[in-house]
Amino acid sequence: MQRDILRPLSCVAYPFRQPLESVTVERRLFHQAHVEFETNRNRNSTSIKTLQVIMVGRAAMKRRREERGTGIELEQLQQCLDSINIVGIIITQQRGEELEIVYLNESAASYVSGTQDRPIIESHLAKTLADSIQLCHTSMSSTSCIFRSETERGSYLVDVHSDVSPNELVTTTLVGHFYDSPLFKERLLPVWEQQMLMDVVESYEMSLCLMDLDEDKQDVQIRYGSPAWTKTFFPVTGKWARAELNMSGGLFNSWIVAYIENKMKEGVVVIEKPIDIANGEVIWTKSKIKNIGSKTNDQVFGKMDSDKKVHRMLCVATVTTQKKKAERMVMLQSQLMDTSDFVMIVVEPLPDGHLRYHSFNKRVRENHIAMGTPISTETPTTKELGLRVDQVKLYTDLISKARAAGKLYRETLHDHVLDHWYISSACEISENIFAIVNFNVAEVMEIAKNLQVQIQAKEAALRAQERFLAVMSHGEYVRSTYVLTDDRGDGAAIRTPLGGIIEALNHFSESPLSDADHDIVNLGKGCCEQLLSVINDILDYSKVESGQLSLEYQPALLQGAIEESVDIITMQANKKCLPIITDALFPIGTQILMDRGRFRQIIVNLLSNAIKFTERGEIVLRCRLSEDSLEVSVSDTGIGISDEFKNQIFNPFAQGDSTITRRFGGSGLGLSICKRFCEKMGGNISFQSVPNQGTTFTFYLPAHACPPEEESRQLSSMEQQLHEFCTTQPRIVSVIESNDRQREVLRTTMENLGLTVETYRDPEAAKKCRHCSVIVLDSQRSDHLESLLSTFPTATVFLSQHFTPGMDAREGGVGEQISRPFRRRQILKTLHRTFFRKNSLSKTSTDMKITPVDLTGLKVMVAEDNPTNQKVIERMLQRIGVKDVYFVDNGKKAVDACEREDYHLILGGAEATKEIRLGQKGKTQTNNLTIVALTADVMSATRQLCLDVGMDQVLTKPVKVESLRKVVLDVYNQIINELCE
């Protein structure tokens, strides 16, 4: 039988000849004393005394055992020994050439990867242990060994000691030392060695740590840190820096990345980087890293493996912050010297009358290049550079005077070699080392000369500007006509064209136009008037400064003036996706006496500033009217105004700082003009602002009512009619709006018109309403349009979308469209038109006569890029009876679709008609293809252009369902007739 196999022998099969207590306690104590005696008998007599004490104690214990009985139960003793976690105990005896186990506790069984039923298996570990125990039996002396053991609790380096016991028994103790990193040597360090290493680390204040690096989590865990390490870097060990200590700064991340990049390098790797430590401070560290191992799947660290994600490293770090600061300071000083216009040099006077350069800036190099003596070494002498003693005497004399003065010495020198005049300063900065700084006076004189030329040019420009302002400011605005009073005629050249444009727009505004055309005319008129107002502000700024500004009061519709102001800057707000919410609390037909142009200029300036300095959020324009006062405020959610700038906000040409001008532009004149206008009209302006939260400007003006004119009377009449109508026939309006403030403003506006208003954030929630007459829906959420119409089939839908010039208020054929920002006049007119038109319609209207026809087989393609219009056309085609409809949103897709499949009717696609016609040549269905234009342009030139490119018909928007039905049925009947032939 092999010697490395220990055949187990049950404790029951080999009963103890005497109580185990005497074997394992008394005899072992005796054996230990004997061993100690043998070990130390040549050194001193202490062991003999110890042996005598033990023997006396053994005799006493024996007497007590005889008195008490045979001792504790064997089963209790085994339970006690099995409860020991770290120390394993094996008792063996020799039977011939075989070893038999008398006893084995659970800890010992775990170390040899077995159980008490099968304690030892054939392995290298078993052979090492068996050889040590066998040697103890053979030599009858203590033996020891060390081996590695893998248990369910982890990896252990097991220290084995075997001692001879009475009755030819050998007691073996196994003490496990846990480890989870690769072992460099299979040796246990004695306590004195461990203590010595710790003393070295602490005495030299080494910042040393053992860390685990997790690549996936980008995190580190400090397993051990020396006192210096925990004091400087991580105050807590055993925790993950990112996940548990919330260390996630950019520098910390780059530090982790640097560790990952160097994980597989052999030897010591040096990394020097800044890092965010736990207290938030940023320090520079120089880390020397030694890679130890990578964590395997069984949570044990083995050899370094690039495929593994958790690695163990030994790191010794040194704080180099002060060194980096010193290096940076030296670099900055060098840059400062090189970028300076001064000639800076540190020299040492030599006995031969020459100078040695110790430090110098870029200007010194340039001067020597100009003299033909370039500097090629770090510390050259003037003699090595080819200069004579008399050429440097100017500076040696300056040094002598500075040495005699004992302080900074300054005088004016003329360098004959370079022909430069300098203001030179010299002082002794170290023993026989002098710093010399030369300032080139000639350059200053040249700068002063150039500055004088620039001043003269500026003065000439200012004089020209004054003449320009004087010439161009001769004119005044009277009602709707611009009367130019410049006798010379040239000063009127700027404002005359604008006056003509405004008059032309006034002519068209008095003609019967559609709503879309009125929008275009009013927008153009408002922009022209605003442009002229700005031009007048600039040209008349001298009048503002001198207090000669004149005002022109006229009756004006207050609501109209507010909406005109908003319309002017709506496009500017749309570009930044900023909603403008107008909250006006006064009768819509209110008419007061005001300077309409100045009033509008104030609002436009405030709104323009709000949009300019706001990136996200909303702009709110509020207007309140009392008996004799008008209050208007503009609020934004922008960057706010700093406390330092609040006192200068109304100063002309003032900006917060230079970055404001570079980022947002503007001259800083707008708020100053607003303040002057308000004060001139007998009012005032103020503001409240919180940095990074927003600003609110509020101005107050006197308000004087005046008799209503035509538009005022018309609006008041419509408002009264709507009130009376809703009193007798109540109407419910469902407002679906995601903006909370806008939703409430719409509620107030419509309730003031006599309607019952229910508001919702979500279209699905609106379906809970039992009945509604009008649905106000954002066009961006028009995907809910069809489901809302199916729920409320009799309701009129108001689609709200951003204001676009030329947009027909009813374009699309379904419901109405109202502009954003919401305008009270448009809402009133649209509601009035909706209710009174519906009320006057008979039940035999055209839409009610439309009945669907079975048009199976008719293939229709619609080329339309507006999703809302697509839904409208699809609904109309479905009402007619068309079932096979295909939508594209551009001409190229229409051409591609025609190449893949044959269609009978195409609606839209004017830009692709030529290509479609060319692609249809040679196909059998060429004659069956009908292309009909859908356009909002009713001009005859547009109609002819569509026909010229090959389209068959032109339908104008809003498309009438009966017109579309006629086209569809004509195409379908043509196909049927051709099939019958």
Instruction: For 347-400, write each residue's pLDDT tens digit.
Output: 999 999 999 998 888 888 888 888 888 888 888 898 888 888 888 888 999 999
What band does 94 get if pLDDT is binned at 50, 70 and 90?
Answer: confident
Of 59-63, 226-230, 508-512, 795-799, which gets the smallest average pLDDT?
59-63
Could you give the percent of the chain with pLDDT greater than 90? Answer: 10
pLDDT(823) > 80: yes
pLDDT tens track for 839-877: 443 333 333 345 667 787 888 999 888 776 777 788 778
Helix (H) or strand (E) holding 21: helix 20-21
The average confidence (pLDDT) of the chain is: 76
- pLDDT reported for residue 311: 85
Side chain identity, residue 91: I
pLDDT(64) > 70: no
Ranked by mean pLDDT, the top range of 71-85, 190-204, 252-266, 613-627 is 613-627
Tokens of 573: 């707000």
Rounded to whole angstroms, how far apart are CA atoms 441 and 422?
5
Q: Region 923-945: what's the mean pLDDT?
A: 67
3-state helix, strand, coil in the chain (%, to 5): 45, 25, 30
What band does 59 get if pLDDT is binned at 50, 70 and 90?
Answer: low
- pLDDT reported for residue 738: 86
pLDDT(696) > 90: yes
pLDDT(58) > 60: no
- pLDDT reported for residue 700: 94
Helices 558-575, 596-612: axis angle to 10 degrees equals: 30
- pLDDT reported for residue 937: 54
Of 532, 468, 529, 530, which Cα lies nearest the Cα of 495? 532
What number of other Cβ atoms are within 10 A of residue 642's Cβ?
14
Q: Region 409-427: what's the mean pLDDT?
A: 85
What band does 657 get if pLDDT is binned at 50, 70 and 90?
Answer: low
- Cα–Cα distances (Å) from 445 to 199, 362, 453, 457, 707, in that order, read 70, 22, 12, 18, 71
How does DSSP classify residue 25?
A: I
Ranked by mean pLDDT, the top range of 48-52, 77-81, 701-705 is 701-705
What number of other Cβ atoms are within 10 A of residue 836's Cβ?
14
Of 844, 864, 886, 867, which Cα lies nearest the Cα of 935? 864
Tokens of 507: 């002519």
Tokens of 912: 């692709």
pLDDT tens track for 122-167: 444 567 888 888 889 888 899 988 887 777 777 788 889 999 987 7
- pLDDT reported for residue 642: 84
Helix (H) or strand (E) holding 953: strand 953-956
Of 510-524, 701-715, 748-762, which gets the smallest average pLDDT?
510-524
pLDDT(556) > 80: yes
What band does 533 get if pLDDT is binned at 50, 70 and 90?
Answer: low
Residue whose tokens read 């008996």: 627
143 or 670: which leads in pLDDT: 143
From first CA to last CA, the distance across the chain in angstroms is 109
Strands 554-557 and 580-585: unpaired
Of 208-217, 867-876, 885-894, which gets the smallest average pLDDT?
867-876
Q: Which residues, 6+ apart, have CB-to-CB distance to 553 below 8 Å?
A: 593, 594, 595
pLDDT tens track for 584-615: 989 999 999 998 888 988 998 899 889 988 98
744 or 514: which leads in pLDDT: 744
Helix (H) or strand (E) holding 482: strand 481-483
Of 101-115, 578-592, 784-798, which gets the smallest average pLDDT?
101-115
- pLDDT reported for residue 708: 87
pLDDT(720) > 70: yes
Of 32-36, 65-69, 389-393, which gets the smallest average pLDDT?
32-36
Asked whether 741 and 579 are in contact (CB, 8 A), the reply is: no
Of 290, 301, 295, which Cα lies nearest the Cα of 266? 290
Rounded to whole angstroms, how far apart are CA atoms 288 and 314?
8
pLDDT(655) > 70: no
Q: Which residues, 6+ apart, have CB-to-CB distance to 782 below 8 Å?
A: 799, 867, 868, 871
Asked whether 978 and 928 are in contact (CB, 8 A), the reply is: yes
- pLDDT reported for residue 10: 31
Q: Region 809-822: what's the mean pLDDT?
A: 64
Domains detected in the chain: 142-255+311-319 (no CATH), 330-444 (3.30.450.20), 552-705 (3.30.565.10), 710-836 (3.40.50.2300), 860-979 (3.40.50.2300)
Strands 420-430 and 433-440: antiparallel
Q: Which residues, 6+ apart, have CB-to-CB distance to 294 below 8 Å?
A: 301, 302, 303, 304, 305, 308, 310, 311, 312
Of 236-245, 272-281, 492-501, 816-825, which gets the smallest average pLDDT?
492-501
980 or 196: which leads in pLDDT: 196
Of 746, 785, 803, which Cα lies nearest the Cα of 584? 746
- pLDDT reported for residue 633: 94
H and E: helices and strands count for the chain: 31, 36
Side chain identity, residue 82: D
What band does 465 get if pLDDT is binned at 50, 70 and 90?
Answer: low
pLDDT(327) > 60: yes
